[in-house]
Amino acid sequence: MLNIGDLAPNFTLNDQHGNPVSLNDFAGKKVVLYFYPRDNTPGCTRQACAFAGAYEAFKAENIVVIGVSKDSVSSHQKFAEKYNLPFILLSDPERQAIEAYGVWQEKKMCGKTSMGVVHTTYIIGEDGRVTHVMPKVKPDTNAADVLAALGK
């Protein structure tokens, strides 16, 4: 997991439209980078919808919101259309960003242990450095917590 003050690792991944997006594309802007396990699951859907609901507040502050999971581009496209998600969703099937940001971790569920993406949100400053680390976020309050952390 990254720490406050670390330089955010750059990556290039395809968005829900199949277009390549790099973190460096947003140099000079604040970026909310949230990692989630899977499209169309209850918690991930609530988290995405909460970010969609708060999107105008982020947009008004010129803050970029990006969601990242291992799901395919087509899965992201369907997910974004189904819930009218106005922000970028990036497909990371090879776990390039997921591993660079340290969110591929051991998880325990129903007595079984497996590896997977842990709900984690990073806020990256205009200088490309991590300003906030939010591990194991609550999907329902993540967007509001990010706005509060940013003083919005």
The residues annotated with a catalytic role in the active site are: 44
For residue 103, the cross-strand partners are none
If DSSP codes are grouped into helix, strand and coil, which group holds residue 105? Answer: strand
Burial label for 142, CB within 10 Å (0-12, 13-18, 19+), is: buried
> Can you tell me the distance from the alpha carbon of 48 to that of 17, in angstroms, rounded to the nearest whole number?
17
Question: Would you state the structure tokens that stand for residue 63, as one six-digit string?
Answer: 């803050």
Q: For tokens 């990036």, name the residue.
A: 90
